[in-house]
Each structure stands twice: as structure tokens, then as C-alpha cells.
Amino acid sequence: MDYTPHGREDIRQMFESLKISSVKDLYSNIPEKIRIRSYGIAEGISEPELRGVLEKFAGMNSSVKNLKSYIGGGAYEHFIPAVIDDICSKPEFYTAYTPYQAEASQGILQSIYEYQSMICELTGTDVSNASLYDGATAAAEAVLISIDKYDEGTVAISSAVNPMYRKVIETYLKSSHCNIEIVEHTEGITDVSRIERQISGKLISFISQSPNFFGCVEDVKALSDYVHDKKALSIVIANPLSLGILEAPGRNGADIVVGEGQPLGIPLCFGGPYLGFMGVKKELMRRLPGRIIGRTLDKDGKKGFVMTLQAREQHIRREKATSNICSNQALMALRAAVYMVYMGKEGMKEVGALNICNSHYLAEGVEKTGKAVLKFKKPFFNEFVIEFKKDAEEVFKIFEKENILPGAQVKEAGRNSILCCVTETKNKNDMDEYIEIVRKL
């Protein structure tokens, strides 16, 4: 199968116009030496056969629909309203390109302007870009902003930041002149006094996460106040779904708020495509990476939307651009926008409250069994670390028999500990079953 349209007569006419007898006549300047006969890959197949092949691959995967998963760790199972799939499968959105031609792209441009507005409101920042690849690269780009601003110094990261994010930041910084210091957490929370003790050189940015990798809510205000004392930037990685109920980091002093937008209506899909969001304070606007949509007027004075502040971007500035990003995650930003509009003012609060109440129900129930404890006694959102008295491997096996994945095995959590996540997708029966299994350990 292929998707070329020409019939025999089309080709005859086109050949005649070009005065050729074969497409090969157009290849005369391609060295014979490098031409190939075939790739040696399989022959093509029809659409019904293709379905069969891909169904087989899909059938070899477990999904959150056929086993009960309490795994989070950077990607989260949430309820996805049907309107999102419907709206985002409109071909006018998903088969369009980057809105370089504004007059033919007002739909996508306005939707992203609205997305930016909601990200600003949610995070408590002044300016948002149109999206980045994912939460981890957004965190790395945030650190690059601090390097752009201060040139060199120390970038400090809390050890309670998702280890994958830390790795990505390290990779992005390899060619910079800055050194990275990891500040160990105390009892699941970033400890300001440790930053003070540990960092000797000039601090240019401090990166924390709230709720952090262990699920605990950080004191963003205390952290940001300290960082500002040192004349550095406070970068906070946040779970956007938590911000319906938890205070916006920007209102607590964060200069840059980034994170993974996946919880806002984006399917798990084995890790991508997701959505990196970034909101910053006004004074950092011209250092933002990636596209920004702005509102302006047309010739007749009518409101409309364009890509703006493009003097920061690679297609204009080339090697002097603030980032090399070109394609972003626009369709995922649209999903997030529709999610935020659908949940609205009350829904964002309610879904946040459900996550807090459900996760605490399970945590309390597990602790009451006496077979496990909560490792960190700190306020948490929808994740928490459970430390079992039994060997964690064995615990996993017991849960697996019931078709349950009780959490993520993460070495950062310590021995016999798992990172457990509870969202609005779990009901009382699910959690009582979980607690019962722990009781019987």
C-alpha cells in the first residue's frame, strides 16, 4: 500500500510535460555508486493486514485498563474527558503546521494564547511560552535561562527532584561552564540550611520540585526567599494538576515554573508525546525559549493573533537564539487547554482535592495494618513512599497475583520502599483491596 494518487494517464501526461520516460531521468546527478536497489525490508501490506499486525503488538502490552496501577513517578493516570479526544482529533488542528501564516492559522493561534493565559494563572507567572518537549527538558531549558542571565556559577538541584529530570539537566549542561551540586533532602523535604552549608561558589539557580519526587509538598516560599537572598533564580518544577488546590509557585516567589503537562488530559502512551510547560516572571520574558503567541490588531483594527517576540528564535537568530527548539508539542498544549477549560475554576479545585483525599485514605489504611509505614511524615499531594517490613520484591509478587502494580520501585526511595500514586481514578473498593493485601503480608 502507498498513498500516492496518480493513475497511469496522470503519469503519462506529467512525463510528457517533463520530456522524460522515467523518473530515473530526473536522477542523473546522483552518483551510481550510492544508488540502492531495495532496502531489503518486508513488502507492504493492506490496511486490514496492518490492523492485525499492530493489534498483535498492542496485545502484548498491559494497560491501566487491564491491571490496577498505582505507578506515578513523572507520568500519571487521570480521567480524560471525552471532549478532549473529540476536539483534538479535528483535522484542522492536528494536520496543520506551525502557524507561520497567521491569517490561515487563527484557530491554533488563539487556542495557544488561551493556553498560555491559563498556564500563567495556574503557575502564578506573567508569561508562558507555547510549549516545550516535556517536563524534564523544560527544567533543563529553565536552567539555561539562569546561565544566559548570569553566565557562570553553581546550579544547585534538590535531591528530591525526579532523578530523570536531574539526568536531563546534567546532559544539557555538559558543554556549559557551570557546575551542578545536588543538595540532599532531609526527611523527604528540601532543607534550606543544607543549601547554605553546601554551596560555596556563586549560586545562579536553585531547582526544586513541588510536590517533589516523593510526593511531598515543599515550602516554595522559604526556598525562594533564600534563593533570592543569594541573588539567584528560583526554579520550581510543579505538577500542574496539583495547582488547582495548592498555591501557585509564582505567588510564592518562584521566578520560573516548569513541569510536565501530561496530567492535564494527555494519555500515558508509554512516555510520550507529553507537554513541557514554562511560565516566567515578566523580566525574563525575552529570555524564554520557544514560540510565544501574542495578540495584536489587523489592518482594519480587528483583534487577531500572531507568533511574536521571534527575535529570540532559531529561524531568525540562528546561533544566537535563546534555544534551538522549533517543533514543540502544540497538539498536547491544545489538549491541556481543553482540559483546563473543561475542569474550569471549580473542577480544577475538585480534582486536586480528590487526589489529596484519596491518596491519604490509602496511606492511612496501609499504615494502620502495621505491615508498612509512611517513610516521610510530610504533607503530600497524590504520591507517597511506603516502606514495607517485608522485602519489596516479595510484596510486588504478592500484588501481581491480584493483577495490581502497587507502586513504582525506585531506588531513591530506599530499601523495601515503593513510590505509590493514587489519583481520582481509584475508588474505595480498589483501595480497600490494596489495604487488605498489605494486611495479609
Partner 1 sequence: MKNNTSLIFEKSVKGRKAFSLPGPVAKGKKPADYIPAGFLRSSLEFPEISELDIVRHYTNLASKNFSVDGNFYPLGSCTMKYNPKINERICAYEGFKDVHPLFPCKKVQGYMSLLKEMEKLLCMITGMDEFCLHPSAGAHGELLGLMLIRAFHDKQGNRRKKIIVPDSSHGTNPSSAAMAGYRIASIKSDRDGQIDLNELRNALDDEVAALMMTNPNTLGLFEDKILEIAGMVHEKGALLYYDGANLNPLLGLCRPGDMGFDVVHLNLHKTFSTPHGGGGPGSGPVGVKKKLEPFLPVPVIRREGDILTFDFNCPDSIGMIKAFWGNTGVILKAFAYITALGDEGLKKTGETSVLNANYLRKKLEEHYNIPFNKACMHEFVISVKDLASKGVHAIDIAKALIDRGIHPPTVYFPLIVEESIMVEPTETESKSTLDSFIDEMVQIRKEAEQDPGSLKNAPVNMSVKRLDEFKAARFPDVRYKAGKNNI
How far is 406 from 395, CA to CA, in rounded Å?
9
Task: Tell whether residue 40 is a contact of partner 1 (CB under 8 A).
Answer: yes
Cβ-contact 390, 417 below 8 angstroms: no
Q: How far is CA 226 from the centre of its chain?
A: 27
Q: Give the Å distances, CA to CA, from 69 to 404, 420, 425.
A: 6, 9, 10
Q: How far is CA 187 from the centre of its chain?
A: 26
To partner 1, the closest distance from the beta carbon of 272 in angstroms equals 4
Among 21, 193, 200, 346, which residue interacts with partner 1 (rule: CB under 8 A)? 346
To partner 1, the closest distance from the beta carbon of 159 in angstroms equals 17
Among 159, 314, 369, 416, which residue interacts with partner 1 (rule: CB under 8 A)? 314
* Exposed / middle / buried, residue 76 (Cβ in 10 Å: 0-12, 13-18, 19+): buried
Among 8, 401, 415, 428, which residue interacts with partner 1 (rule: CB under 8 A)? 428
Task: Name the one range near partner 1 by CB under 8 A: 153-161, 247-255, 387-395, 433-441.
Answer: 247-255
Among 21, 43, 193, 393, which residue interacts with partner 1 (rule: CB under 8 A)? 43
Residues 179-238 that bind partner 1 (CB under 8 A): 217, 219, 221
The residue among 231 and 251 lying less far from partner 1, judged by its C-beta, is 251
Instruction: For helices 330-368 and 106-123, give the axis angle rounded to 10 degrees.
Output: 30
To partner 1, the closest distance from the beta carbon of 146 in angstroms equals 15
Cβ-contact 383, 417 below 8 angstroms: no
> What are the φ and ψ backbone dihedral angles of 388, each rounded to 5 degrees?
-90, 155
To partner 1, the closest distance from the beta carbon of 417 in angstroms equals 15
Task: Tell whether residue 376 is a contact of partner 1 (CB under 8 A).
Answer: no
To partner 1, the closest distance from the beta carbon of 236 in angstroms equals 13
To partner 1, the closest distance from the beta carbon of 153 in angstroms equals 17
First-to-last alpha carbon distance for the chain, in angstroms, is: 55
How far is 92 from 330, CA to CA, in rounded Å?
13
Among 8, 21, 175, 393, which residue interacts with partner 1 (rule: CB under 8 A)? 175
The residue among 97 and 389 lying less far from partner 1, judged by its C-beta, is 97
Pick the closest to residue 131 from 401, 325, 369 (CA basis): 325
How far is 214 from 167, CA to CA, in rounded Å?
17
Residues 61-120 that bind partner 1 (CB under 8 A): 61-67, 69, 71, 73-75, 77, 79, 81, 83, 85-87, 89-108, 110-111, 113-114, 116-118, 120
Instruction: For helices 163-173 and 135-150, give the axis angle rounded to 10 degrees.
Output: 40
Q: State the Cα angle at 205 between 321 and 254, rounded to 5°.
A: 95
To partner 1, the closest distance from the beta carbon of 404 in angstroms equals 12
Task: Tell whether residue 248 is a contact of partner 1 (CB under 8 A).
Answer: yes
Among 159, 180, 228, 268, which residue interacts with partner 1 (rule: CB under 8 A)? 268
How far is 37 from 197, CA to CA, in rounded Å?
66
Task: Tell whether residue 414 is a contact of partner 1 (CB under 8 A).
Answer: no
Task: Name the one range near partner 1 by CB under 8 A: 53-61, 149-157, 190-198, 227-235.
Answer: 53-61
Residues sharing a CB contact under 8 Å with residue 254, sequence separation 6 or more, in sequence order? 123, 124, 125, 220, 224, 234, 235, 236
Secondary structure of residue 432 in the 3-state scheme: helix
Task: Tell whether residue 47 is a contact of partner 1 (CB under 8 A).
Answer: yes
Pick the closest to residue 293 from 422, 85, 116 (CA basis): 116
Torsion 299-302-306-308 (CA) sign: positive
Among 180, 194, 267, 387, which residue interacts with partner 1 (rule: CB under 8 A)? 267
Q: How far is CA 363 from the centre of its chain?
A: 26
To partner 1, the closest distance from the beta carbon of 231 in angstroms equals 25
Task: Tell whether residue 8 is a contact of partner 1 (CB under 8 A).
Answer: no
Among 201, 271, 370, 414, which residue interacts with partner 1 (rule: CB under 8 A)? 271
Among 135, 188, 250, 259, which residue interacts with partner 1 (rule: CB under 8 A)? 135
Among 8, 193, 200, 270, which residue interacts with partner 1 (rule: CB under 8 A)? 270
Task: Tell whether residue 133 is a contact of partner 1 (CB under 8 A).
Answer: yes
> What are the φ and ψ backbone dihedral angles of 95, each rounded to 5 degrees?
-105, 20
Residues 326-345 that bind partner 1 (CB under 8 A): 326-332, 334, 338, 340-345
Task: Tell whether residue 261 is a contact of partner 1 (CB under 8 A).
Answer: no
